[in-house]
């Protein structure tokens, strides 16, 4: 266990008795990257999260939209603000706006008015592999309609949380070049699910292309593998590669809880993060575990440590 403060840069809450993501009400009919998600079909609120994080010096967290659906996006943001008012968490919010909707600009304006909102996530439509990427495909990062919505983010000072497989990162780099005023934060390490040497070589080459721009960052998270428990052995090199490519000042650690609770406890995952980065030194660890998230998500009023 470490006494180092933590800002968890990516987590979720939901209350299935009142509000909640519709996908959790029909889990059996869906296919997910960790396999069976039925264990997530339960209410998960700050008291549950605090049980999972017990023993850690958690000083803040970033709530990321949980796919309530485009029609409920503003309701989700309002609900999360009520949760924060009662519990003190989260410290910042990444909300949802469907960027390829005709009213995306107006929805971004409404979302930006909430005090904790710092960014938007809308997952672009992914291709199954690099060979199947179609430039301009509806819902993709190169879709002109999607880009029109994306172009509204800078006007409101919002960042963009990007969740795509690594083979879309050249496309993401081009998006960033076209809209350089919008910071892009890559979710879940670029999803390196295939751990073969050849696939990891391609993943590293892709994150190098993406990281070449100065206004991007990455969350080291979502590193679980289907049917296996989270382990240092399987994730050490990926973590160190990410820090090497992006630099200490553009990486953040995150739990993705409760989702990554399917592959490991909060303790096992974060103790793994601490163990892997110990060789980088205490100053670097403080950047990785608290200061970068505080700066990138403009988090204020944290406890003094």
CB-based contact 120:158 (threshold 8 Å): yes
* 191 vs 50: CA distance, rounded Å: 27
Give the number of other Cβ atoms within 10 Å of residue 22's Cβ.
10
Report the Cα–Cα distance between both ends of the chain, in Å, rounded.
17
SS3 of 67, please?
Answer: coil
Judged against a pLDDT cut of 60, whether residue 304 lies above it is answered with no
* 179 vs 120: CA distance, rounded Å: 15
CB-based contact 289:249 (threshold 8 Å): no
Strand order in the sheet with 57-64: 5-11, 57-64, 92-96, 117-121, 159-162, 184-186, 216-220, 251-253
- For 277-293, what is the mean pLDDT? 97
User: Packing angle between helix 197-211 and helix 232-246, nearest 10 degrees?
Assistant: 30
pLDDT at 36: 85
Rg (CA), the chain: 18
> Domains along the chain?
5-296 (3.20.20.140)
How are beta strands 251-253 and 184-186 bridged, if at all?
A: unpaired
DSSP 26-54: SGGG--BTTB--GGG-S-B-HHHHHHHTT
CB-based contact 296:289 (threshold 8 Å): no
User: Whole-number mean pLDDT of the chain?
Assistant: 94
pLDDT at 77: 97
Judged against a pLDDT cut of 70, whether residue 305 lies above it is answered with no
> 61-89 burial string, b = 16+ CB within 10 Å, else e?
bbbbbbbbebebbbebbebbbebbeeeeb
* 302 vs 305: CA distance, rounded Å: 9
Instruction: Write the pLDDT tens digit of every residue in 149-199.
Output: 999 999 999 999 999 999 999 999 999 999 999 999 999 999 999 999 999
Instruction: Write the pLDDT tens digit of every residue in 218-249.
Output: 999 999 999 999 999 999 999 999 999 999 99
Instruction: Write the pLDDT tens digit of every residue in 19-75.
Output: 778 888 776 545 678 988 889 999 999 999 999 999 999 999 999 999 998 789 999
> What is the four-CA torsion angle of 267, 289, 221, 104, rounded to 10 degrees?
130
* 223 vs 205: CA distance, rounded Å: 18
């Amino acid at each position: 266990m470490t006494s180092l403060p933590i800002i968890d840069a990516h987590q979720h809450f939901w209350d299935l008795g009142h509000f909640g993501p519709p996908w959790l009400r029909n889990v059996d009919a869906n296919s997910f990257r960790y396999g069976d998600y039925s264990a997530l079909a339960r209410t998960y609120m700050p008291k549950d999260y605090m049980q999972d994080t017990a023993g850690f010096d958690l000083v803040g967290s970033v709530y990321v939209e949980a796919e309530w659906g485009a029609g409920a996006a503003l309701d989700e943001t309002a609900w999360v603000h009520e949760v924060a008012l009662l519990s003190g968490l989260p410290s910042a919010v990444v909300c949802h706006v469907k960027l390829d909707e005709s009213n995306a600009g107006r929805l971004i304006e409404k979302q930006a008015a909430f005090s904790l909102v710092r960014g938007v996530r809308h997952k672009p439509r992914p291709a199954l592999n690099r060979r199947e990427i179609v430039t301009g495909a509806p819902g993709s990062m190169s879709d002109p309609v999607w880009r029109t919505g994306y172009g509204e983010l800078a006007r409101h000072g919002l960042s963009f949380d990007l969740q795509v497989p690594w083979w879309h990162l050249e496309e993401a780099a081009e998006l960033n070049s076209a809209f350089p005023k919008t910071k892009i934060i890559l979710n879940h390490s670029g999803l390196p699910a295939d751990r073969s040497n050849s696939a990891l070589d391609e993943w590293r080459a892709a994150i190098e292309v993406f990281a070449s721009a100065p206004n991007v960052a990455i969350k080291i998270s979502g590193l679980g593998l289907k049917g296996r428990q989270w382990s240092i052995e399987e994730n050490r090199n990926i973590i160190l590669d990410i820090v090497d490519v992006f630099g200490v000042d553009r990486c953040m650690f995150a739990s993705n809880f409760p989702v990554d609770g399917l592959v490991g406890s909060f303790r096992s995952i974060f103790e793994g993060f601490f163990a892997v980065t110990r060789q980088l030194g205490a100053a670097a660890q403080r950047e990785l575990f608290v200061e970068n998230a505080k700066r990138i998500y403009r988090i204020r009023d944290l406890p003094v440590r």
